[in-house]
Amino acid sequence: CCCCRLYRYNITLIYYYHFLKRFRYAIYYYRILKRILNFFYYLYTITIHSSALINLDN
């Protein structure tokens, strides 16, 4: 019937909505994680350069 089709359509819409919402959250968390990783990588490179400079001084 028409109502059944509409019901099924609503279910798929809700499913897609939840999926998109989750996807958006995933992208958001991925950006934060990437920023944190970049920060740690930056600190890591700084420490390496500073230790190299200290070794050169010694």
Distance in angstroms (rounded) separating the CA atoms of residues 51 and 29? 33
| Residue matched to tokens 């998109």 | 20
Tokens in use for 42? Answer: 């930056």
Residue 3 inside a domain? The answer is no
Number of domains composing the chain:
1
Residue 5 inside a domain? The answer is no
- Chain centroid to Cα 31, Å, comes to 4
Threshold 0.75, pTM exceeds: no
Q: What is the pLDDT along the chain (58 residues), one digit of tens a residue?
A: 566 777 888 888 888 888 989 898 999 999 999 999 999 999 999 888 777 766 665 5
Tokens in use for 22? Answer: 């989750």
Residue 27 inside a domain? The answer is yes
pLDDT at 42: 92
